[in-house]
């Protein structure tokens, strides 16, 4: 490790600034030796140098916090097995509990590295990708309590996770929160959400989400194709398709001739 640190010094002397990968490799090396304090100290050096930690940086730190916890709970052999076998990023996110994230943030704060919006974004996206919705929502709540406004990327990651996990009620609330915050929900997630709500018999929920999309800024053709044609009609939900088509007409939505023709043909065919 001393040789590695000396190399960092030499790089700087030669005018080669260490990048995110360089710092992350150093963090991982300290973590593998069980020196988590030194690993977090490298994180502070990253921030002080104006170098943005990557997704991989946070994963490395969290992996070693998980290892430390396993060593305390189940012994050093189990902990060593964890570090040597967790090579896939998704494995780390899957094993993560909320208490590990709290410990991670606490260690950052002690070093004067307050978690910012970018840190939260990387954490929430990673957790959502493995379907760990409960943990992602708690991190999201903490973010808001600390007064950090979620980005559209975070909202859409959570919405996609809700749809994947078929947590449609949470998805409806999330769409409402997104729109109030001035963010556009992804139409692909909305398609899954609306179809899922109708399939579960929640007609009011599906209609509510659809109506909230109309004034959001999407072209009406986009909504018609993605939600009605590519969504409800393809899944055989003819009654729902007809209902939402009528809602769009009554709302004064403007369709291109091709879209209008496809809607009519699709509804007639069912």
Span 107-144, pLDDT tens digits: 888 888 888 898 999 999 989 998 999 999 999 999 99
Which is nearest to 248 in space by CA: 209, 220, 206? 220
> Of residues 113 and 41, which shows the higher confidence score?
41
Q: Are 22 and 55 in contact (CB under 8 A)?
A: no
Report the pLDDT value the prediction gives residue 112, as an integer from 0 to 100. 84
Report the pLDDT value the prediction gives residue 222, as an integer from 0 to 100. 94
Q: Mean pLDDT of all residues in the chain? A: 89
CA distances, 133 to each of 52, 122, 139, 243 (Å): 26, 15, 10, 31
Q: Are 65 and 30 in contact (CB under 8 A)?
A: no
Share of the chain above pLDDT 70, in %: 92
- The set of residues, in sequence order, having a beta carbon less than 8 Å from that of 128 and lying 6+ positions away, is 136, 157, 158, 160, 161
**pTM for the model:** 0.83
Range among 5-19, 60-74, 108-122, 253-267 rated most confident? 5-19
Mean pLDDT (whole number) for 156-174: 96
205: exposed, middle or buried (Cβ count in 10 Å: 0-12, 13-18, 19+): buried
Report the pLDDT value the prediction gives residue 87, as an integer from 0 to 100. 46
Report the pLDDT value the prediction gives residue 59, as an integer from 0 to 100. 86
Question: What does the domain layout of the chain look like in residue ranges?
Answer: 1-103
pLDDT exceeds 60 at position 84: no
Q: Are 62 and 104 in contact (CB under 8 A)?
A: yes
Report the pLDDT value the prediction gives residue 76, as an integer from 0 to 100. 57
Mean pLDDT (whole number) for 143-150: 94
Report the pLDDT value the prediction gives residue 165, as an integer from 0 to 100. 95
Report the pLDDT value the prediction gives residue 71, as an integer from 0 to 100. 64
Report the pLDDT value the prediction gives residue 217, as an integer from 0 to 100. 87
Report the pLDDT value the prediction gives residue 190, as an integer from 0 to 100. 96
What confidence tier does 157 reach under pLDDT thresholds 50, 70, 90?
very high
């Amino acid at each position: 490790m001393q040789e590695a640190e000396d190399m960092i010094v030499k790089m700087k002397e030669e005018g080669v600034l260490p990048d995110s990968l360089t710092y992350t490799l150093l963090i991982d090396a300290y973590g593998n030796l069980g020196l988590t304090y030194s690993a977090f100290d490298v994180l502070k050096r990253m921030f002080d140098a104006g170098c943005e930690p990557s997704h991989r940086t946070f994963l490395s730190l969290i992996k070693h916090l998980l290892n430390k916890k396993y060593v305390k709970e189940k012994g050093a052999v189990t902990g060593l097995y964890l570090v040597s076998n967790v090579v896939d990023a998704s494995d780390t996110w899957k094993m993560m509990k909320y208490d590990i994230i709290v410990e991670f943030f606490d260690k950052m704060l002690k070093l004067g590295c307050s978690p910012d919006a970018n840190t939260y974004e990387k954490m929430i996206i990673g957790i959502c990708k493995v379907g760990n919705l409960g943990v992602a929502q708690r991190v999201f709540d903490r973010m808001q309590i600390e007064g950090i406004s979620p980005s559209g990327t975070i909202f859409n990651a959570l919405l996609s996770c809700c749809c994947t996990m078929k947590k449609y009620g949470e998805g409806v609330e999330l769409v409402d929160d997104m729109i109030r915050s001035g963010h556009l929900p992804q139409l692909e997630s909305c398609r899954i959400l609306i179809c899922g709500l109708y399939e579960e018999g929640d007609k009011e929920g599906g209609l509510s989400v659809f109506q909230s999309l109309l004034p959001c800024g999407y072209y009406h053709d986009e909504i018609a194709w993605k939600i009605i044609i590519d969504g409800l009609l393809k899944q055989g939900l003819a009654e729902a398709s007809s209902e939402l088509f009528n809602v769009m007409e009554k709302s004064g939505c403007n369709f291109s001739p091709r879209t209008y023709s496809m809607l009519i043909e699709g509804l007639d065919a069912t």
